[in-house]
A = this chain, B = another copy of it.
Amino acid sequence: MTAPTTTSPTRADRTDVLTLLGLVAHLELVAFTRLAADSAEAPTIDQRLRLMRFSAGAVDRLDRIFARIESLGGRPDAEIARFAHALDDFDARTAPGSWWERLLTAYVGYGVADDFCKAAAAGLDDATRDLVMDVLDGASHAELTVATLSGAAEGDAVLTSRLALWGRRLVGEALGVVQTLVASQPSLARLALDGGEDTGPADGEAVTRLFGRLTAEHTRRMGRLGLTA
């Protein structure tokens, strides 16, 4: 059964939309804190300031998501609370050992998270989808990472292989988070696996397609750093 295309979501969709907005909001909340902590560890004042700006930008993005949640009749604090511990395991297992690893952690972790949210947003009404896409594009601090890491790893075989290894560990943990989210939040499973249509429990093929897509994007991202995924 196909839901009608409208700018304001149907009642069944509304829960799904609010859930995804809650996830995006939580990711911005965590991005703020993480990038702020990263900025304090930056080796140069220039990098510190850039990370501070990325971090501060997350507050504006959060406000835009909150405004959309409210305009759909949701409560931002309730939607965000759903994901309070979504990244705890990821954080506990990926404590970075160096500045390079720290930059790579945010790059890979947010890369996978953003791709997942974009995949899930495809089934939303136009206005919400455009907002989510715009917010996620604004969240990227990929350029700083690419400039810093590709320069550092070039010609340093030990660092290159260490970062490639770290990248593989990160993507494994990040995909684990996605798996948990899809398994625990039916709304996210519907959006990310079925394009928002209620087709019952997600089939294995849809899961394989999603993970294939996330892995391919990760490989492309690592390639930008000159690292094999």
Count of this chain's copies in the oligomeric assembly: 2
Which of B49, B53, B59 touches A52 (beta carbons < 8 Å)? B59
Scan residues 24-66 of chain A and give those whose CB is less than 8 A from a CB of chain B.
Answer: 29, 32-33, 36-37, 39-40, 45-46, 48-49, 52-53, 55-56, 59-60, 62
Asked if A81 lies at the interface with its beta carbon under 8 angstroms from chain B, I say yes
**New contact pairs (13) apart from A29-B48, A45-B81, CB-CB < 8 Å:** A32-B36, A32-B55, A32-B56, A33-B36, A33-B40, A36-B36, A36-B55, A37-B37, A45-B80, A52-B59, A56-B56, A56-B59, A56-B60
* Least distance between A87 CB and chain B CB atoms (Å): 12
Query: Most chain-B Cβ atoms within 10 A of its Cβ — which of A33, A37, A39, A56?
Result: A56
A interface residues with partner B (beta carbon < 8 Å): 29, 32-33, 36-37, 39-40, 45-46, 48-49, 52-53, 55-56, 59-60, 62, 77, 80-81
* Least distance between A71 CB and chain B CB atoms (Å): 18
| A55 partner residues in chain B, CB cutoff 8 A | 32, 36, 56
| A45 partner residues in chain B, CB cutoff 8 A | 77, 80-81
| A56 partner residues in chain B, CB cutoff 8 A | 32, 55-56, 59-60
- For the complex, give the distance between the alpha carbons of A53 and B56 in Å: 8
- For the complex, give the distance between the alpha carbons of A46 and B37 in Å: 20
| A37 partner residues in chain B, CB cutoff 8 A | 33, 36-37
* Least distance between A171 CB and chain B CB atoms (Å): 25
Q: Are A53 and B46 in contact (CB under 8 A)?
A: no
| A80 partner residues in chain B, CB cutoff 8 A | 45
Q: Are A77 and B46 in contact (CB under 8 A)?
A: yes
| A29 partner residues in chain B, CB cutoff 8 A | 48, 52
9 contacts between A and B (CB under 8 A): A29-B48, A29-B52, A32-B36, A32-B52, A36-B36, A37-B37, A45-B81, A52-B62, A56-B59
- For the complex, give the distance between the alpha carbons of A45 and B81 in Å: 9
